[in-house]
Each structure stands twice: as structure tokens, then as C-alpha cells.
């Protein structure tokens, strides 16, 4: 296998199914050696007996690529570290980390339990932090040893985190946190030769089969805009050496559409030069809101289908 990731070593978390599976297969097609991570859980986070990661590994090997399976819980700090070490010990290096693992426990905010909130935040947000922390330490040590990496991190946010999604408070909060983590990591790791970006994909996965089944359904003919494989070429490009001038970006992907998110940019402002009183502050805010862009989506509108990862 040859391609834009030829000779590079990648970890893809949550790679047994859905988006992660397609990312692992595409990276392998582009020449990467892949650690296929999957804890193998049900949609609500219950660990299953068998892992689909081995099937993905066999598909890669059958096509002439190199891959190994990994069953780490990526939100467990020690297991995440062992996963990074496995990649380095098996393939001699690590160049790419694709953070993708996650699950949902959709509830309206007033019905969300503490356990549900903690579980979703843990697997998405801590499940991004822990592998990133260990991979970053490896890349920093390489840079200090005079072997500056040409490394890539691709995190997975979501439209739910960027614009909000009704009934997904915990998921939206986690995905917004991932976007923020991406910006910080891009700044901090640039000195070590690491580029950090995030995607916000819309695709048909186990997490969208329930709430958004109709909107995500495959068409009888023509382009299947919601197929998860539509997202993976963008991941592969971000993972390759030619994307070295791209970092700190969040890229939304839906079907054949790519959109660069612009996030929390500074909008209209007014500085009084002194402390505001409540009445005048209210008048100033109303005037600034009248000059600012309307949020997406318009609050109170019907929920919009969002990516799941």
C-alpha cells in the first residue's frame, strides 16, 4: 500500500465500527501502519465479549497493509499510555493519533443523571486527553532528542459541540470541550513538530441510527451523503505530511461538503472605560446583539441532525 501516509504509524481509537473503522481502513490504504483500538462496547458503554477491531485488522492485512488490534479503554490514563507504547514498540514510532472513540446517552437536560453525564464526559473528553497526553510526551521527548516529529493529531468534535443539539447536553458539552482542547494543544505542541486539528463529521453511525435514523438513512440510489467513509479522506489528508501548515482548525464534514468552522470569534464590542451599571450595561448589550450575527441554530428551532463519533 502506498499513499500520502506512506511509512507513517497511526493510532485510531474507537476503530472497530463506524467512523473509526473507515478512518483506519483509509489510513492503511494511504500507506500507514495502524493500531486499531476498540474497547468493544454497546451504544451505552457496556463492554461486549468480542471486539470488531480484529476484523478491521484482518481487512487491512488482507489488502497488504500492517495493523494490530488494541483493546484499551482510552479514558483510562494507564491503558491509554500502554496503547501509545504498543504502537511505538510494534512499529518503531508514532506519527498520527486519531481520537474518535465515544458513545452517547441522550437525555433532555432535566432527565440526565449524574452517572450519565460523567460517563459521556469521561469517554469523549478524557478519552481524548489521555491518549493525547501520552503521545505528546513521546513527541516532546523526540524533539528534545533532536528528532523533531512531523506528527498529527485529529480530534473528533461535532456539530453538537459547535452549535448545540437538543437532548444531548452531555455529548454537546464534551464535544465543545474537545474543540477547546484542540486549540490549546495546537498552540502548545507546535514547538515539538505536532499539528493538531479536529473534525466535526456528520455521518451514519450507531449513535445516529436512533434519533436521526430517517435523516441519516442511505438512499436507494446515488451518492450516500451520510456514509461514514465520506469523512475519512479528509482525516487521511490531515494525517499526511502535506498538511504541515494546518493546525488549530475545526473542519466540518458532511457528505461532499467541507466547512471550516470559525468558532468563538470576537464580535461587536463597546468599552465604557469605567464600571458599568446594570441598566446601561443592558442597553449596551442589546445594541451589540443587534449588530451581531444570529447564532446557529436559531434557539427554539427543531434539533438538527449532528455527527456522532
Helices 53-62 and 18-29 pack at an angle, to 10 degrees, of 20
| CA 75/CA 59 separation, integer angstroms | 26
Mark whether 138 is an active-site residue.
no
As a whole number of angstroms, the distance between CA 5 and CA 28 comes to 8
Is 158 catalytic? The answer is yes
Question: Residue with C-alpha cell 506519527?
Answer: 95
Find all residues with CB under 8 Å of 229, minimum gap 6, and list them: 22, 25, 26
Find the catalytic residue in 175, 192, 232, 243.
175
**For residues 144, 147, 134 and 20, what is the CA-based torsion angle, rounded to 10 degrees?**
160
Task: Calculate the CA dihedral of residues 8, 98, 132, 296 and round it to 10 degrees.
Answer: 140
Distance CA 164, CA 167 (A): 9
Rounded-to-integer distance, Cα 75 and Cα 129, Å: 8
Q: Are strands 250-254 and 194-202 parallel, antiparallel or unpaired?
A: parallel
Which residues partner with 96 through β-bridges?
A: 10, 152
Let me know if 299 is a catalytic residue.
Answer: no
C-beta of residue 18 within 8 angstroms of C-beta of residue 309: yes
Out of 51, 126, 170, 171, the active site residue is 171
How many angstroms separate the CA atoms of 34 and 65, rounded? 9
Q: So which residues are the catalytic ones?
A: 158, 171, 175
Amino acid at each position: 500500500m502506498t499513499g500520502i501516509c506512506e511509512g507513517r504509524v497511526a493510532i485510531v481509537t474507537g476503530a472497530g465500527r463506524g467512523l473509526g473503522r473507515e478512518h483506519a481502513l483509509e489510513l492503511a490504504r494511504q500507506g500507514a501502519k495502524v493500531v486499531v483500538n476498540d474497547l468493544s462496547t454497546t451504544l451505552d458503554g457496556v463492554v461486549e465479549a468480542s471486539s470488531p477491531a480484529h476484523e478491521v485488522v484482518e481487512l487491512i492485512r488482507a489488502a497488504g497493509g500492517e495493523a494490530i488490534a488494541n483493546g484499551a479503554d482510552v479514558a483510562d490514563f494507564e491503558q491509554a499510555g500502554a496503547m501509545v507504547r504498543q504502537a511505538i514498540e510494534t512499529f518503531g514510532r508514532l506519527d498520527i493519533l486519531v481520537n474518535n472513540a465515544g458513545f452517547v446517552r441522550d437525555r433532555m437536560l432535566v432527565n440526565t443523571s449524574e452517572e450519565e453525564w460523567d460517563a459521556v464526559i469521561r469517554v469523549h473528553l478524557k478519552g481524548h486527553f489521555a491518549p493525547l497526553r501520552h503521545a505528546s510526551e513521546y513527541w516532546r521527548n523526540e524533539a528534545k532528542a533532536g528528532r523533531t516529529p512531523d506528527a498529527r493529531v485529529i480530534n473528533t468534535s461535532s456539530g453538537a459541540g459547535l452549535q448545540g443539539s437538543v437532548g444531548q447536553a452531555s455529548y454537546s458539552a464534551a464535544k465543545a470541550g474537545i474543540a477547546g482542547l484542540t486549540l490549546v494543544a495546537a498552540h502548545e505542541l507546535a514547538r515539538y513538530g505536532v499539528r493538531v486539528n479536529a473534525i466535526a463529521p456528520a455521518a451514519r453511525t450507531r449513535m445516529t441510527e436512533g434519533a436521526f435514523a430517517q435523516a441519516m438513512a442511505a438512499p436507494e440510489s446515488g451518492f450516500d451523503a451520510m456514509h461514514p467513509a465520506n469523512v475519512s479522506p479528509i482525516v487521511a489528508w490531515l494525517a499526511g505530511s502535506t498538511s504541515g501548515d494546518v493546525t488549530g482548525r475545526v473542519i466540518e464534514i458532511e457528505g461532499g461538503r467541507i466547512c471550516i468552522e470559525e468558532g468563538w470569534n470576537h464580535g461587536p464590542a463597546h468599552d465604557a472605560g469605567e464600571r458599568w451599571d446594570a441598566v446601561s450595561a443592558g442597553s449596551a448589550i442589546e445594541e451589540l446583539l443587534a449588530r451581531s450575527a444570529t447564532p446557529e441554530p436559531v434557539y427554539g428551532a427543531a434539533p438538527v441532525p449532528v455527527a456522532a463519533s
